[in-house]
Amino acid sequence: MKLPAEDELTLDQSMDFLNQLTEFNGKPPVLIMTGGDVMKKQNLAEIMHHARDLKIPFALSPAVTGLGNEGSFSLVEGSGASSISISLDGKEGFHDYLRGIGVFQKTIRTLRALKESGINIQVNTLVSGNNLTDLPWVLKILLELGIKTWEIFFLIKVGRGMDVEDVTSEQYDAACKFLVYAAGYGINIRTVEGPYFRKLSIDHNNDVSLGNNRLFSELKETAVKLCGHPEHGKDRIPVAKTSDGNGIIFVSHNGRVRPSGFLPLDVGNILDKRLVEVYEKSEILKRMRDRSNITGKCGACQYLEVCGGSRARAYFYRGEVFAEDPVCPLQLNQGESI
């Protein structure tokens, strides 16, 4: 069994972190417990019990490798978690390439078991240049299993993502357009580091055409072959208002605070300052919440407030958190998709 990192938060420090979440004005923020594999966190049951006592809403995002036994399922079922997030990154070849040989089949079995237990499930999918065409197949699995929530993580080249191809502007455009289309199947779709989806959702809600894109057309045609035509194509799509450092904050295993899990920019540590103080008083976070600091075509775009580009992607490619998103497909002089 892999031991915890030497600097991982102790049980007492983890409990104090939960206490810090109650110090925000209004209700405590939603806590997503992730990893690594959160199921291997020592004293996880006590941590979840304390979160319940403090009335902190929380969800679990475990690795499938830690959810293969009866004890793990019992812990999940009695945890009080609002939902469980499971990663499904594409068809078997790509998923096993990313997660390990045999993990795809175990993931499908896990999703079925969780669904039968009545636990709310969310599927998380990484989108990269390597697995873009797998999206309709993941959609098919969600529909077959009756899973209604799909969160799409657009690749930021950190960690294991360093060995995966980033999306091009055309692929990013196609993927986001496909997700707007896929929402018509009655799926609640959210994106991480893909705020361009919000711009397209607004266009959809206003009956604006998504425009032409060869890759999008291919994805849509595949979805129709696999899933039939969507029944809710004209339903309004909810548009999220949070962004890195604005309604979202990431706390690592050792207490470091960052604007998000994909933006390796330390802004404090909960062992030194209370999280609410870091969130409200960090100069970099305050600047990130002021969209007027964003430069390039993102800063001049009419969709700045609702989209603003991926700050993590800008940081990776430009070395500057306020730079324009390098894969945004919009042309500033036209204001239309490529």
Q: In sequence order, what DSSP letters do the residues of 241-295 get, joined into one string?
A: --EETBEE-EE-TTSEEESBTTB----EETTTS-HHHHHHH-HHHHHHH-GGG--
Average pLDDT of span 58-83: 82
Q: What's the pLDDT at 216?
A: 97
Residue 338 scores a pLDDT above 60: no
Task: Please confirm whether the linkage preceding 245 is cis (ω < 30° from 0).
Answer: no
Q: Cβ distance 58 to 91 under 8 Å? A: no
Q: What's the pLDDT at 224?
A: 98
pLDDT level of residue 35 (50, 70, 90 thresholds): confident
Query: In degrees rounded to 5, what are phi and psi of residue 116?
Result: -65, -30
Fill in the DSSP letter of residue 76.
H
Residue 204 scores a pLDDT above 70: yes
**256-258/268-269 β-pairing:** antiparallel
Residue 212 scores a pLDDT above 90: no
Which segment of 63-77, 167-181, 194-208, 215-229 scores lowest on mean pLDDT? 63-77
% of the chain surpassing 90 pLDDT? 80
Domains along the chain?
11-227 (3.80.30.10)
**256-258: strand order across its sheet:** 250-251, 256-258, 268-269
pLDDT level of residue 73 (50, 70, 90 thresholds): confident
Summarised one tens digit per residue, pLDDT across range 158-180 is 655 456 889 999 999 999 999 99
Average pLDDT of span 82-95: 95
pLDDT level of residue 66 (50, 70, 90 thresholds): confident
Q: How many angstroms separate the CA atoms of 124 and 242, rounded?
A: 18
Residue 203 scores a pLDDT above 90: yes
pLDDT level of residue 337 (50, 70, 90 thresholds): very low
Closest CA to 64 of 100, 110, 97, 120: 110
Name, in order, each residue with C-beta under 8 angstroms of 69's C-beta and a sequence gap of 6 or more: none
